Amino acid sequence: MKNLFSICLITWSLCACSVKTEKGLINIFIEKTTPQTEFAVNNIESLYGLKNIKQVKELEAADIIVKVDTSSQLKPEGYSISGKDRIVITGKDGTGAMYGILDVAEQISFGKKPDEIEEKVVIPYQRNRFIKFNLPWNSYRNGEALSLHMETCRDTVFWHDFLDMMAMNRFNVLSLWNLHPFEDMIKPEKYPEASSLSDEELAERKKFYTTIFRMAKERGVQTYIVNWNIFVSKKFAEAHNIADYNKTGGFWGDADNSELIEDYTRECIRQLINDYPDLTGLGITLGERMGGMTSTERRDWINRTVIKGMSMADRKVKLLYRAPLSAGKTSHGTTDKTTEMVTREVLDTLTIPEETMISFKYNWSHGHSSDKLFIVHGGKLTDTYWNPAPHNYSVLWTIRNEDFFTHRWAKPDFVRNFLKNNMKRYTSGCIIGSECYLPAKDYFTKSDIINKPFKYAFERQWLWYSIWGRLLYDDKTEDKLFADQLNRKFDIKNGEKLLETWKLASDYYHRFASFYMGTWDATIYSEAFTALLPDKVANTRKANIITMAGMGNRPVLDTTKYINIQDYVLNPDRDTEQIVSPVELANIMYKNAEKVLEAIPEFDGNQALNMEVTDLELLAYLQKFFAERILATLVLADKIVLKKELDKERIDKHLKLSIDYWKKITELKGKYNKKVVLYLFNADLDYNNYLEVLAEERKNVDGIDTFYEHDLR
């Protein structure tokens, strides 16, 4: 560390003959330009609103000197900042130098003078900082909530802004996902009948992807294409009368693993790599359309197609090898040690990829449930993948967010605890993103909002991206950074208090999803207090508000912290000091809510601030609502579980309060957002409609005589 600072200080002393510059103007000199440093310098004004930092060609005129030193002791993408009278930014590579420039610019945007810039050495904490982005065409799931993004996601202006956000937040991998990406990107030379695109259309698509990959590279962002495997284009299926499921859609079921499809897949992989030289890697899924195949057969199919296709290409690329989603022949999520051993055997011996990573869904589809790992897709993991520690691959955690799309989140301590608990020497990073939500077109905000302060959906969750990206890059990042970002964004001075309030409001998501266990996407949707529950009338399941019958015997996810309502009623006096009882959880939610509501008046400001603070107020009432639902269900449990007479007065008090709170939630949601927000598992999800469900439940509470036995598959 001392040697590193010595190098920087020597560089500074050699250049100490700085000349006076125009007052207020900050001159920056790039010793050797890279695409990444050029991006940073050219976009300081658009990214941080600074007009006083200008690039100069003369070293003597520089207030800031930027250099790339590949021989330094820094790690790839790392940087140092040293000096006072003259700032020296040293990057290990172009991306590190870019981050250093962005860091200095950000500090100046917070109001610091050049001689107040913090000296530091930044060593990247996790080298793979992925964003998962599902493409709306040929999508895994179907519905208007996805298809409405088509135009936005075909616009390179959107990707320009999204990639800017990634660079500012230190994300370094953009992964694009759909069922069969090849038909949108290439016309297979060996199988031209697979393409539905004219030559002109194909040229336009190639230009589109090439532009995205180039812009990403300029911002230090790698690009991956991730697919689900045994799919072909509809045209190819029709031409050869194979794989009928490709003609009608649908991702579950048995696979068509004929030799023709294997050869087609190999050729697509080979050509994709060759046609897109800026594409960094590929991702595969041992999952849905591999029904009827054993774990060994799925592994062997990947080897004969994807891995073989990679070996046939003109260059090496990286590989994201998603862990098998099923240990059996079905598409249902299951895990077992034999499947893990079969997969590890492949990973330990793979030599074709430039780098190999295996990813697991952290706590399945609900990565913000707990900072401790309890399940992955399919169930519990053994330590097979990391005991002994791997040398040929690393582990990535996929942090899926299926819990908040409309409303905001900010809790840096959750991410810090997650990193402390789960990042080991065999891990190399995380993938963050959603399956049922695309952060492209803003389809939430009411159309009559004048001077809306953002354009795209991802900008609603700007602080979520900032917290995850910055902490994955530098786990020593302090809350002060996020508070300063709040101060700058909203032109306020109490960003620290706002962040603390935001943390308390966001606590709802973590406690709810730890207490009310979810597995796959629709099993819970936290911000709407919704789950996929049985419809006794239609004998189907539909996402709806969680009733007392649905809550009473729901398993908890975090068994080290919580106990469910039925088990608590059966044994309220057990000796488990570390367990938070349902009653205690309700009290915690009430205390959080009161603190948030007490602080809300301090943050009255411009429309941009009010739109976000309204979410904090809503989350406070959601905590109160959650608390009353717990307390009401406890009263009902005395009747159902202990066979006591129902205390009608007591339960009615809790149910009435919960309805009052839901009315307030509905009112706050409608202040800036549309009445009906599209959700894949309930196309007419309207908070107002839930009032009818709650009123019906209250009216007929005497008739509730059982709790659901939950099927979480």
Per-residue pLDDT band at 536 (split at 50, 70, 90): low
Least confident range from 26-40, 91-105, 520-534, 610-624: namely 520-534
Same domain, 318 and 272: yes
Q: What is the mean pLDDT of residues 24-31?
A: 94
| CATH number of the structural domain spanning residue 103 | 3.30.379.10
Same domain, 85 and 149: no
CB 239 within 8 A of CB 233: no
Same domain, 44 and 73: yes
Same domain, 166 and 282: yes
CB 104 within 8 A of CB 118: no
Q: What is the mean pLDDT of residues 272-293?
A: 93
Angle in degrees, CA 559, 617, 504, rounded to 5: 40
Same domain, 139 and 115: no
CB 239 within 8 A of CB 193: yes
pLDDT in tens, 667-702: 999 999 999 888 999 888 899 999 999 999 999 999
- Cross-strand partners of 431: 130, 398
Query: Is 292 inside any structural domain?
Result: yes
Please state, rounded to an integer, the average pLDDT across all residues of the chain: 93
CB 269 within 8 A of CB 313: yes
Q: Residue 646: is its pLDDT beyond 80?
A: yes
The rounded distance, in Å, linking the Cα atoms of 635 and 655 is: 11
40 Ramachandran zone, left/alpha/beta (phi>0; psi -120 to 50): alpha
Instruction: Decide which of 122, 149, 166 is a domain's last residue.
Output: 122
Name the nearest CA neighbour of 336 among 371, 392, 379: 379
Query: Is 710 inside any structural domain?
Result: no
SS3 281: strand
CB 510 within 8 A of CB 669: no
Phi, psi (deg, nearest 5) at residue 68: -110, 120
Instruction: Decide which of 95, 122, 149 is a domain's last residue.
Output: 122
User: Do the bridges between strand 120-122 and strand 79-82 make them parallel or antiparallel, or are there none, so unpaired?
Assistant: antiparallel
Query: Is 491 inside any structural domain?
Result: no
The fraction of the chain above a pLDDT of 90, given in percent, is 86
Q: Residue 251: is its pLDDT beyond 80?
A: no
pLDDT of 534: 67
pLDDT in tens, 375-389: 999 999 999 999 999
Same domain, 94 and 154: no
Query: Is 426 inside any structural domain?
Result: yes
pLDDT of 398: 98
Query: Is 525 inside any structural domain?
Result: yes
Least confident range from 2-6, 474-478, 584-588: namely 2-6
Same domain, 466 and 577: no
Same domain, 567 and 449: no
pLDDT in tens, 289-347: 888 999 999 999 999 999 999 999 999 999 999 999 888 888 888 999 999 999 999 99
Same domain, 224 and 105: no
Instruction: Decide which of 122, 153, 180 is a domain's last residue.
Output: 122
Same domain, 442 and 359: yes
Beta strands in 286-335 (DSSP E): 318-322
Domain count, the chain: 3
| CATH number of the structural domain spanning residue 429 | 3.20.20.80
Per-residue pLDDT band at 12 (split at 50, 70, 90): very low
Query: Is 488 inside any structural domain?
Result: no
Same domain, 237 and 200: yes
Q: What is the mean pLDDT of residues 350-358?
A: 97
Domain containing residue 134 = 128-477
Angle in degrees, CA 669, 412, 443, rounded to 5: 30
Residue that the structure tokens 């149910």 belong to: 655
- Model's pTM, two decimal places? 0.95
253 Ramachandran zone, left/alpha/beta (phi>0; psi -120 to 50): left
DSSP single-letter state for residue 446: -
Least confident range from 29-43, 370-384, 698-712: namely 698-712
Query: Is 465 inside any structural domain?
Result: yes
Query: Is 116 inside any structural domain?
Result: yes
Same domain, 437 and 571: no
pLDDT of 9: 38
